[in-house]
Amino acid sequence: MAAQAKVNLLLRVLAREESGFHSIETIFLRLDLADDVVVRAGEGVRGRALDVRGEGDHASLTGPTEQNLAYRAAIAYGEATGWPTGFAIELTKRIPVGGGLGGGSSDAGAVLRALDALSPNPLGTRIVELASGLGSDVSFLAQDSPMALAWGRGERLFPLAVLASRPLMLFVPPFRVATKDAYGWLAAERGSYVPRGAVVRQSDADTWEGVTAIAQNEFEGVVGRRHREISFLVDSLRQHGAFLSLMSGSGSTVFGVFDDDEAARRAAAGAGGGVRALLTRTAERVARVEVA
C-alpha cells in the first residue's frame, strides 16, 4: 500500500505542557508522494522482521529496526490487541527522511491500517488513539481523511473537506533538522509564552485562497536563522509562481503549491546546488489498503 507523505499548511506551536511536550495547531494535507509498505501477518508468519529499501541512504537513515516507527507500530498493535504474534514489514522508501514530510509517521500509519485490515478483530477508528502514542503526525496518517485540522500533540483531529489537487514542488536541502532542536530554538527565542486562542475556523480551509491567507509555520523563522537556505528556498518558490510556500513541519523540506504543472516544473531551476527538487501533487484521497 502507499504510505503518503504530508505537509503542514499551518503550524503554530502553543503552550508547553508539564510533561515537556508542546501543544500545536496545524492543518495536515496528504501528498501523492508515498513510500510503499507491504505487511504480512497472521497464520504462517513467525518472528518479527523489517526490511527497508530505497534509493541512496534512505535505509541507513531510518535507524535501527527497534527504533523504526513502522516496526514500533506493529509492536504497539500486537500489544494492544494480542494479534499478531509475528509480522514481516517491507518498506520501499521514496519520502525524504527527516525532512518534515512525515515519512516515518506515514509508514507507521500505513502499518496500523494494514494490520487492522488483516486483523480478525479490527480496532476501526480506535487505531487513531493507538497511533497517538507513536508520534505527533501518526494519528493523522493512520486515519482516512486526506486533510485535517489538528490540535494537542496532533491527536485531536477534525477532518476537513479536501482541497482540489494542485501541483506541489518540494525542495529538500542536504541537511536535516532535529525536531527537538527546532522546539528548543523556538522556546529560547520566544521566552515566556503568552497563550493565544485558535486562529483557524473550518471556513478558513474551504478554499486554497482561504488557506493561503492563514498559512504560516512558526518554526520557519527560527530554523531559517540557523539555516539561511530555508528562507532562500521559500522565496525562490514564490518568485517562480507558487501561491503558497512554506517549510513543512520542523524542516528542512520547503514546499510550494502552484496552479499548473508547467510553472511547478520551471520552479525546479531555483533549487540551487545540493538541493533536491521533487514534483508531486496534493492528494484528494487516502490510498486504500489492498489485501491480497
Q: Which domains does the chain have, with CATH numbers?
A: 2-159 (3.30.230.10), 167-281 (3.30.70.890)
pLDDT bracket for residue 94 (50, 70, 90): very high
- Helix, strand, or coil (residue 202): helix
pLDDT of residue 202: 80
pLDDT tops 70 at residue 62: no
Among 107, 137, 144, 260, the one annotated catalytic? 137
pLDDT of residue 55: 65
pLDDT tops 80 at residue 153: no
Strands 48-54 and 87-93: parallel
Query: Phi/psi of residue 148, each to 5°?
Result: -155, 150
pLDDT of residue 127: 94
> pTM value?
0.93
238 near 129, Cβ under 8 Å? no
In the chain, DSSP assigns E strands to 2-16, 22-41, 48-54, 87-93, 147-152, 156-159, 167-172, 216-217, 244-247, 254-257, 276-281
pLDDT of residue 197: 61
Known active-site residue 137 = yes
Q: Tens digits of per-residue pLDDT, 191-246?
A: 776 666 667 778 889 999 999 999 999 999 999 999 999 999 999 999 999 999 99
Percent residues over pLDDT 70 in the chain: 92
Q: Which three cell numbers stand for residue 168?
A: 506541489
Dihedral of the alpha carbons of 24, 28, 34, 40, in degrees to the nearest 10: 70
Select from 185, 85, 68 the least CA-distant residue to 135.
Answer: 68
pLDDT bracket for residue 181 (50, 70, 90): very high
pLDDT of residue 224: 96
Separation of alpha carbons 68 and 61, rounded Å: 10
237 near 169, Cβ under 8 Å? yes
pLDDT tops 60 at residue 57: no
Cβ contacts of 88 within 8 Å, gap of 6 or more: 39, 40, 41, 45, 47, 48, 49, 50, 51
Known active-site residue 57 = no
Among 6, 32, 93, 107, the one annotated catalytic? 6
Cβ contacts of 290 within 8 Å, gap of 6 or more: 1
pLDDT of residue 23: 82
Amino acid making up residue 77? Y
Cβ contacts of 217 within 8 Å, gap of 6 or more: 8, 10, 11, 246, 247, 248
Q: Tens digits of per-residue pLDDT, 137-148?
A: 999 999 999 999
Separation of alpha carbons 256 and 268, rounded Å: 10
pLDDT tops 80 at residue 58: no
pLDDT tops 70 at residue 115: yes
